[in-house]
Chains A and B, each alone.
Chain A
Amino acid sequence: MNLYKYASPVTFYPLAGKLIPWFAALAVVFGLVGLYLGLIVAPEDAQQGQVYRIIFIHVPTAWVGMVVYLVMAAYGVAALTLKTRLSSMMMEALAPTGALFTALALLTGALWGKPTWGTYWIWDARMTSTLILLFLYIGYIALIHAIEDKKRADKAGALLVIVGSVNVPIIYFSVRWWNTLHQGASVSATGSKMATVMAQGMLIMALACWMYAIAVVLARVRAIILERQYQGANEILGFEIAGTEMTGTEMVGTK
Chain B
Amino acid sequence: MNAPRSLSRLEFEPLPDSSSGMVELSRSPERGFFVAAARDIFLAFRSKGEVIQALVFFIVVVSLFPLAIGAETALLRRIAPGVVWVAALLSVLLTLPRLFASDHLDGTLEQMLLSPFPLTLIVAGKMAAHWLTTGLPLALMAPLLGLQFGLGGDELGVLVMSLLLGTPILSMLGAVGAALTLGVRGGSVLVALLILPLYIPVLIFGAGAVEAVATGIDYAANLSLLGAGLLFGALATPFAVAAAVKISLD
Contact = CB atoms under 8 A, between A and B. Distances in A.
Interface string A8-26: 0000000000000000000
A135 interface: yes
Given A139-B193, A155-B247, A159-B244, A146 B200 contact: no
Interface residues of B, number: 31
Contacts of B197: 132, 135-136, 139, 164, 171
A227 to B, nearest CB: 20
Given A156-B244, A156-B247, A178-B208, A163 B184 contact: no
B250 A177 contact: no
Given A143-B181, A159-B243, A167 B201 contact: yes
B121 interface: no
Nearest to A179: B204
A151 B240 contact: no
- Mostly, the B contact residues are helix
A168 B194 CA distance: 13
A160 B180 contact: yes
Nearest to B211: A181
B42 to A, nearest CB: 30
A128 B193 CA distance: 17
A142 B184 CA distance: 11
A114 interface: no
Contacts of A170: 201, 229
A138 B193 CA distance: 8
B144 to A, nearest CB: 27
A175 interface: yes
A180 to B, nearest CB: 11
A80 B244 CA distance: 11
A96 B15 CA distance: 51
B181 to A, nearest CB: 7
Nearest to B225: A174
Contact of A159 (B186, B208, B229, B247): B247
B181 A151 contact: no
A174 B205 contact: yes
B204 A178 contact: yes
A166 interface: yes
Contacts of A162: 240
A142 B190 contact: yes
Contacts of A151: 250
Interface string A101-140: 0000000000000000000000000000000100110110
Nearest to B229: A170
Nearest to B249: A152
Nearest to B176: A163
A147 interface: yes
B46 interface: no
Contacts of A146: 181, 184-187, 190
Nearest to A169: B201
Interface in B152-176: 173, 176
Interface of B: 173, 176, 180-181, 184-187, 190, 193-194, 196-198, 200-201, 204-205, 208, 211-212, 217, 225, 229, 236, 240, 243-244, 247-248, 250
Given A139-B194, A167-B201, 14 more contacts: A132-B197, A143-B180, A143-B181, A143-B190, A146-B186, A147-B184, A152-B250, A156-B248, A163-B198, A164-B198, A171-B198, A174-B205, A174-B225, A181-B212
6 contacts: A142-B190, A146-B187, A152-B250, A160-B176, A167-B201, A181-B208
